[in-house]
Amino acid sequence: MPEIECVPCYLCGSTDWRERYPATIPYEEAAADWSAYRCTSAGYGLHHTIVQCRQCGLVYTNPRWLGGEILHNYEVVEDDLYLQEREGRVLTFRHHLQPLQLVTGPPAGRRLLDVGCYTGVFVEIAADAGWDAWGVDPSSWAVGEARGAGLQVVEGTLASAGFPAEHFDVITMWDVIEHVSNPAFELREAHRLLRPGGTLVVHTMDIDSLFARTMGRRWPWLMEMHLYYFSQATLRQMVEQAGYQVISSAPQGRYTRMGYLVTRVRAFSRPVAWVMGRVVEAVHLQEVAVPINLGDLFTLYARKTPWAAESPAGPD
Ligand SMILES: [Zn+2]
């Protein structure tokens, strides 16, 4: 069984926290293997103790598996369901690219890096749009899939990938920052790799959204694989501390195929999913894309400021 660790708040350094949501799985019975770390993991509602920093308000999982154990889980993850749901992600990322280019300007061969790119769906869409698009991911299975599709993807983390400093015009992190053991370190690493004035894009869940607050402990994103539950305020603060100026921060949903949505609804209510499934089938809506925006996912855009960030402390 992997070791667990207690961590301080990576936003303000305080160790003064209160329990926000008690653990729903005992540590000795937790899924200490990769099945809980798949992108399409259905482990909604299963998580360790989630605490909130009394000083700055950051919400995070504590205690948790040692950082290295968590990374190892991502290195060995395999997820065929993700490939099946590729369509929904293609649609989501196409919709994400338009507002992104309003901030960054046209691609024109400029260099973009997608962190935690997994099988490279966003890398491919960005490359098709004209970016010199790169990706980095710790999962060797996912990197193999991406490379097989001819994409420029490196296996590893931002710190281990060996990219030169000030190499990229844009760095994106789609649904990644909530998974890493030290998000402040990742943001500083991205800062090192961005050229001055380059753009950082971070998409994650919002624990302070109306939907999250209404759902409370039943909010579906409370999951074992999520180590950080940012709000727009706590993410903005961490990004600014890492040497960026925030350009904008606003809710941004995702797209999914009706057919896939039915399979997800089934996890909550079989009768509702059955009725939905019949309707979707009867009028041939399986392949239709629907926007889902409950206001609990958001995208933050920031610019690397000319002044230097603090020098990175270690990954933990
Ligand atoms: Zn704090």
**Do 114 and 202 touch, CB atoms closer than 8 A?**
no
Rounded to the nearest angstrom, the distance between the alpha carbon of 234 and the centre of ligand 1 is 9
**Of 32 and 173, more confident:** 173
Nearest to 217 by CA among 47, 60, 41, 6: 47
Rounded to the nearest angstrom, the distance between the alpha carbon of 236 and the centre of ligand 1 is 13
pTM for this prediction: 0.83
Rounded to the nearest angstrom, the distance between the alpha carbon of 58 and the centre of ligand 1 is 5
Q: Is the pLDDT of residue 218 over 60?
A: yes
Rounded to the nearest angstrom, the distance between the alpha carbon of 184 and the centre of ligand 1 is 12
Return the structure tokens found at 182.
């030290």
Rounded to the nearest angstrom, the distance between the alpha carbon of 139 and the centre of ligand 1 is 30
**Do 112 and 132 touch, CB atoms closer than 8 A?**
yes
Rounded to the nearest angstrom, the distance between the alpha carbon of 230 and the centre of ligand 1 is 12
pLDDT of residue 44: 64
Rounded to the nearest angstrom, the distance between the alpha carbon of 49 and the centre of ligand 1 is 16
State how far the Cα of 187 lies from the Cα of 178, in Å rounded to an integer.
12
Rounded to the nearest angstrom, the distance between the alpha carbon of 239 and the centre of ligand 1 is 14
pLDDT of residue 252: 86
Rounded to the nearest angstrom, the distance between the alpha carbon of 8 and the centre of ligand 1 is 8
Rounded to the nearest angstrom, the distance between the alpha carbon of 244 and the centre of ligand 1 is 19
How large is the average pLDDT for residues 2-22?
89
- Homologous superfamily assigned to 4-253+293-304: Vaccinia Virus protein VP39 (3.40.50.150)
Rounded to the nearest angstrom, the distance between the alpha carbon of 59 and the centre of ligand 1 is 8
State how far the Cα of 40 lies from the Cα of 101, in Å rounded to an integer.
28
Contacts (Cβ under 8 Å, ≥6 apart) of 310: 188, 241, 243
Rounded to the nearest angstrom, the distance between the alpha carbon of 147 and the centre of ligand 1 is 39
Rounded to the nearest angstrom, the distance between the alpha carbon of 185 and the centre of ligand 1 is 15
Rounded to the nearest angstrom, the distance between the alpha carbon of 12 and the centre of ligand 1 is 4
Rounded to the nearest angstrom, the distance between the alpha carbon of 60 and the centre of ligand 1 is 10
**Do 64 and 107 touch, CB atoms closer than 8 A?**
no
Rounded to the nearest angstrom, the distance between the alpha carbon of 163 and the centre of ligand 1 is 31
Residue 31 — pLDDT band, cuts 50, 70, 90? very low
Rounded to the nearest angstrom, the distance between the alpha carbon of 231 and the centre of ligand 1 is 13
To the nearest 10 degrees (0 to 180), the angle between helices 67-76 and 140-148 is 40
* Unique residue bearing structure tokens 């009394």: 54
Rounded to the nearest angstrom, the distance between the alpha carbon of 140 and the centre of ligand 1 is 34
Q: Is the pLDDT of residue 219 over 90?
A: no
To the nearest 10 degrees (0 to 180), the angle between helices 121-128 and 86-104 is 50
To the nearest 10 degrees (0 to 180), the angle between helices 232-241 and 183-193 is 50
Domain segments of the chain as ranges: 4-253+293-304, 254-292
On the 0-12 / 13-18 / 19+ scale of CB atoms within 10 A, 150 is exposed
**Of 302 and 84, more confident:** 302
pLDDT of residue 9: 96
Q: Which amino acid is at 108?
A: A
Q: Is the pLDDT of residue 45 over 80?
A: no
Structure-derived torsion over alpha carbons of residues 89, 92, 94, 95, reported in degrees to the nearest 10: 180
Return the structure tokens found at 227.
């180590």
Q: DSSP states of 177-204 as a string?
A: TTTSS-HHHHHHHHHHHEEEEEEEEEEE
How large is the average pLDDT for residues 8-27?
88
Residue 24 — pLDDT band, cuts 50, 70, 90? confident
**Of 253 and 129, more confident:** 129
Rounded to the nearest angstrom, the distance between the alpha carbon of 22 and the centre of ligand 1 is 19
Segment 114-137, tens digit of pLDDT: 999 999 999 999 999 999 999 999
How large is the average pLDDT for residues 235-263?
86
